[in-house]
Structure 1
Amino acid sequence: MTSDHSSLDDVNLAYLGMKAEPDGRPSVASSARRLGVRVGVDVHPDQRGFGDYGGGGMSVAPDDLMHLPPHRRPKVLSGTGLDPVFQVSSSDLGSELTLRRDRADHALAEPGGRVLLGTFERALSESRSQWTIEYRDD
């Protein structure tokens, strides 16, 4: 599958505060503090289990990590978050994922097209190696 969605509001970098594993990459799970999505909260698949571009995904801050809410930023960034801030480039997400800005300070990591929920979750999980720590409290 390839994503052919583009706009003047393309997102180049995405930031998210997430729990880290010992290898320095984000922890993967269906949780607000991990690399993943929560069914019924972040994504709403149809009766057959499909989701689509524009149908929800994992919340991220587009292009400026200060777009993260304070509870997702570490103290070093005037936040209250407990987790490091990771970043990923849209070009590193592959063809199955896309970053869609839904407002000036918020975007979603979504499927690039119509896919089964499991396929989307797998693509997010497989993007784990592309996310790098940008900031953390030490």
Structure 2
Amino acid sequence: MIRPAVLAALALLAVVLPGPLGAQDTMPPAPYAYQQLDDPKLEAEATALMHTLRCLKCQSQSIADSDAPMAGDMRHQVRSRILAGESPDQIRAWLIARYGDYVSYQPEVNSITWPLFAVPVLVILLVAGVLLRRLGKRRSDGGEAA
């Protein structure tokens, strides 16, 4: 026989669980998620900015190209803020502050991101040094044998 406490827990799960699972699908998209701005100049600014911002769910697409609901919300934010008079740089700074440097395809050099820029340069210098040293040894070895 099933205990009343277990039955009550199962009943509670049956009532509570479906709500969050279906919530994302039932929410309407943000107004500017799929609707362009009336002013072509402002829409061009918004579109240019959206192509430089990464969809946090897809990660390999910009928010302009992604169909993820989160990308739609980010497109809405970009268009709404452009319409409110904010510059693309201000909107980018706000999105970076909210989601982190990863949201931008054009990260800025700061105390956190400098290794992303410095490590490739150091690797190239290291490889160049090794190659020059090996080529220098081969030339000196080849010159003595002749």
TM-score range, shorter chain: under 0.3
Q: Given the two structures, how large is their TM-score scaled by the length of structure 2? A: 0.24
Q: Given the two structures, how large is their TM-score scaled by the length of structure 1? A: 0.25
Identify which of structures 1 and 2 has the higher relative contact order when contacts are C-alpha pairs closer than 8 Å and 6+ apart.
Answer: 1
Structure 1 or 2: more strand by fraction = 1
Structure with the greater alpha carbon radius of gyration: 2
Structure 1 or 2: more helix by fraction = 2
